[in-house]
Amino acid sequence: MKKEKFRVSSVFIYIVLIFWSLTTIYPIIWVIQNSFKAKDKILANSFSLPLGDLFTTANYRKAFNNLNILSAYKNSLFISSIVAIVVVVLAGMASFALVRYTFKLKGALLSLVMAGMMFPVFATVIPVYSMEVKWGIASTNNWGLTMLSVILPQVAGNLSFAIVVLTGFIKGLPVELEEAAFMEGCNAYQIFYKVVMPLTKPSFATVAIFSFLWSYNDLFTQMFYLRTPKMFGITVLLNRLTSQEGTNYGLMAAAVTLVVVPVVIVYIFLQKYIIKGMTAGAIKG
């Protein structure tokens, strides 16, 4: 049916589709153009482009001077990168073992993984927090420990999903390559690092991107662990901004732009992997 000739109904279809694209694109353009206007000018006419007298970078200067936005970026990137790396390595190893080895507890472990996906973060956060307080990781003034206190629960939250996705991919690998490596004298660890990891690079990238984005966008966990301004990640900073500077619309627009634009740029380049990563569980599972 995709080979049909032009019809009036096609015009209608395109109108509907373009309308929905406008709802996703235009708000972002709107907020970007208003971030370049003085806060008292926004309300007068928010749809005009910031040209001539309207144009100002005051909001951005204020954002960089008052908001610690660079430090929040640094914290967020640090947390999310480590989460992504640890999730991929641990989930990769576990998936490899779960697919290739046969052992007694295999079925039990697989159901542990499946059940692990069901636990909402709400149901674990309080005990995890007090556990980490007892260990001396959470609610300290030490930057490294505080970062660690967020990283650990976020890794745990992503592991089961990552294992489910990666076992699916590793199952699809031909075992012959591993046999050849074994004949050459590789042991199991070498097979994993030299054969399985390189072959599944795209799927590892998919899982890494998923974990990174999930951690980068997460507000709930970060609000529990990151309580002082120098520890804030991007989402916590934005959330505080609403309550403290809720009426400074120019600053809000600038802050939203500063957070959204880098993500949009990354998305444009990596969209194939990102879309695959975010929907992998639903489509494969």
Which 147-176 residues touch another protein, going by CB under 8 A?
Answer: 152-153, 155-157, 159-160, 163, 175
Query: Does an H or E element contain 187, and which?
Result: none
Binding residue for another protein (CB under 8 A) from 54, 77, 85, 131?
Answer: 131
User: Quick one: which of 17, 56, 47 has its CA closest to 29?
Assistant: 47
Binding residue for another protein (CB under 8 A) from 36, 60, 204, 249?
Answer: 249
Binding residue for another protein (CB under 8 A) from 8, 51, 103, 107?
Answer: 103
What minimum distance in Å lies between the beta carbon of 114 and another protein?
11
Give the three-class secondary structure for 55: strand
What minimum distance in Å lies between the beta carbon of 212 and another protein?
10
Give the three-class secondary structure for 37: strand
Q: Does 271 bind another protein (CB under 8 A)?
A: yes
What minimum distance in Å lies between the beta carbon of 143 and another protein?
19
Q: Does 25 bind another protein (CB under 8 A)?
A: yes
Q: Which stretch binds another protein (CB under 8 A): 49-57, 58-66, 142-150, 259-267?
A: 259-267
Q: Does 85 bind another protein (CB under 8 A)?
A: no
What minimum distance in Å lies between the beta carbon of 55 and another protein?
19
Q: Which stretch binds another protein (CB under 8 A): 5-13, 50-58, 67-75, 199-207?
A: 5-13
Helices vs strands, H then E, count in the chain? 14, 0
The DSSP string of 216-282 is HH--HHHHHH--SGGG--HHHHHHHHHHHSTT-HHHHHHHHHHHHHHHHHHHHHHHHHHHHHHHHHH
Binding residue for another protein (CB under 8 A) from 51, 65, 269, 283?
Answer: 283
Tell me how far apart the alpha carbons of residues 37 and 46 are, in angstroms, rounded to a whole number: 9
Rounded to the nearest 5 percent, the helix, strand and coil shares of the chain are 80, 0, 20
Binding residue for another protein (CB under 8 A) from 36, 60, 129, 204?
Answer: 129
The DSSP string of 194-220 is IIIHHHTHHHHHHHHHHHHHHHHH--H
Contacts to another protein from residues 205-224, by CB under 8 A:
213, 216-220, 223-224
- What is the x/- site pattern for another protein, positions 173-202, by CB under 8 A? --x--xx--x----xxx-xx----------
Residues 6+ apart with CB under 8 A from 216: 76, 77, 79, 80, 233, 234, 235
Q: Does 242 bind another protein (CB under 8 A)?
A: yes
Contacts to another protein from residues 26-55, by CB under 8 A:
27-28, 30-31, 34, 43, 45-47
